[in-house]
Structure 1
Amino acid sequence: RNLAAVRGSGIDDWLPHVTTYAEDGGATTERLLDCDDVALPGTPGEADGTTPGTVAVVGLDATAPLAGLDAADGVGVAVGTDLVYASLDRLYLATSGAPTGCCWLVDRAVPGGPSGGWSGGWNGTSEIHELELDGTAATYVASGEVDGTIRDRWSMDEHDGVLRVAVGPSSETGDFSSIVTMRRDGSRLEEIGRVDRIGPREEIEAVRWFGDLALVVTFRRVDPLYTVDLSDQTAPRVVGELKVPGYSAYLHPLGPHRLLGLGEGPVAGRRWGAQTSLFDLADLATPRRLDVLDHRVGTRHVAATDPRAFTWIPGQRTGLSVITRGYGARTGWLSIIRLDDGTISEELVEVEHGSDVDHVRLLRLPDKRVLLVTAEEASYVEV
């Protein structure tokens, strides 16, 4: 049926379109890109694992927002994905192989031995496509692949012309995570270095990059925080590890030696809730957790899935995080987190009720005020 659907499709089913709405209520729809504007990446490996679709990358001049699409630069890549990472001069599109949680069978009777076997249609390989940015224009230049799964855009980082990727386990790897470094060689993204066996039998929860340093959080029952030295891009290495209960799903730097982690952890016995941790990274070989704040049972940090729900105010050593009670919650709080000499304190303010709790946003303005946007209103936060 899938093949029949593809054979019955036309070019307009694959090319992106744009709709323009007129003041009189009318609308016109036309192609955003023509065939000549779409790059068809070469298959990096022997198996064709490209996800069907077309991604359009459109560059707009922010100083002329009313110029419209006629003044925009657009390019397409024939791959279906919404996983995108951009540095100052490069943009990467990635597809991710299926995670182990999908079809990984831990069974000695399954082909593959004691570590289990793969039962599914995914090939366990992630594809990465690189585009160079020049002003509002983008140009497709290379493709590559890496065994493993790419969790999100935070799992990729470009530094000094090298792409660093944190990948989780898949059918093509062992039951562990890795960091892989890649550099463009002609039209190919080639692997130049890697470190394996990060967080055995665990999944990646958070990744943060700082020049020659990577921080990786994995989780199953406890929260290992790994420090990875990337000063030699061809030979990354794990230099330190810290295990604490719970996990951090979002990491926020507070300077060269301090780190704030937002996630979840045990609050009362087996019951869990939102958790805020303060880490000391002065010695990368022995990272420490200076303090931990356990929030109410059943709560969670919205920033764990959307970092826009957290704002840091450097001059006041204060963080603002939106907290809800579980998924599908009906009450949302603004957690005002204050740091003082390695300790964490909190003030809670109710800010939203109903189905819009997850959409509360914080925006730090150029004049240093903080705007709180809820479903009903926008207001300034006094801290």
Structure 2
Amino acid sequence: MNIIEKILKSHSVDNLKSVSPGDIVTVSVDRAIIVDMAALHPEFVNNPPIKPFDPDKIAIIFDHFVPPPNIEIANRVNKLRKLAKIWGLKDFYDVGRGGISHVFSGESGWILPGSIIANTDSHTVATGAFNAIGRGLGTPEMMGIIATGKTWFIAGETVNVRFINGLKKGASAKDVFFKMAEIIGDIPNMNIEFSGTGIKTLNMDERSSISTMCAELSAEFAVFPFDDILKEYLEGIGIKNYNPVYPDNDAEYYKTYEIDLDNVEPMVALPDKIINNVRPVTELGKVEINLAVVGSCANGRLSDLRDVSEVLKNKKINKNVRLIVTPASMKVYEEAIRLGYIDNIIKAGGMVTNPTCGACLGGHMGVSSDGDVVISSTTRNFKGRMGSPKSRIYLGSARTVALSAVNGYITGDENE
């Protein structure tokens, strides 16, 4: 069995002896995470489960509408505050106390190797960076999990993505994902398992960025192996007890892809979709922009803000560009302040917001207008995703966004 099949087997409530593609597996859930978007679903907030299966395994995190952009949402999220009290949750993180759920949950030590995470957000595949599996689930399914602690998955086929060598200066984990989108394409109902010597060159931020973005390939799960880099990260946040999962020597994969990280260059996704729609920046031509956004669960991490800070130090944003930078968590924000990253961004003419998903989903804190040409490190670029359907959204790494903000057009080359 591969890693994903072994995790499903270990959590099977039926004590299955093995798991193979096509099996329907009912599993116990290690952690259920509810984000503030659930407040928009009346079936959840008006008729929630009376009693959670285990209050210590449930968290509510405000991240999408932080702070609420209008009266209606402000009133709706109040119902989640009341629900947290009724359920007796110790893990309730209101405005200014947490961050984007996928980032904050990793910082908090909730995602352990071998675990299964349920979350109401679609990018929960991010858990794979921690040698765990997780899925974004709709509110009706999450209500069942809160009541029972169980859910079910269909075990899908798994493709193996083997990384070799390491990234060159200027290339990023986001560019690795774009290369995956180029060669793998859309794989609905399938999983990804990473392997290869190149993995040891990727830190936890980079792994998290890649696994998060695999939601855009329609992958169910996208899992990294356990290794010394993950072990060191967990020890650094005080976590020592967990059960890492390794693939069997005879694990079977639907297909294997090899990506030489040394050949990865800065890339962008062109407007309206990602699959079969990515290009190296060098082939793009001169695309002028007027809105640049750095943030999201994929690329609002400390290393992303470091890259932005390094590009912007002692420089100014182009006069025709608005730059909005959103740290992914309060911990990231505080550390970026301490290291001087925020100061460099502000002095260059950028605006730094509180941690939120706001700009990524077109909710607030960076909504695009008619005619805007956007370069963003966020996760999706379908028409209207970040605001106006009449805006055009290019996706790139945080570094590419920062370079573009300085030059006024999309570029991945510091020397342009």
TM range (shorter): 0.3 to 0.5
- What TM-score results when the alignment is normalised by the length of structure 2? 0.31
Kindly name which structure, 1 or 2, has the bigger radius of gyration based on alpha carbons.
1
Higher normalized strand content (fraction of residues): 1
- TM-score under structure 1 length normalisation: 0.33
- Which of structures 1 and 2 has the larger relative contact order (alpha carbons within 8 angstroms, sep 6+)? 2
Structure having the larger proportion of residues in helix: 2
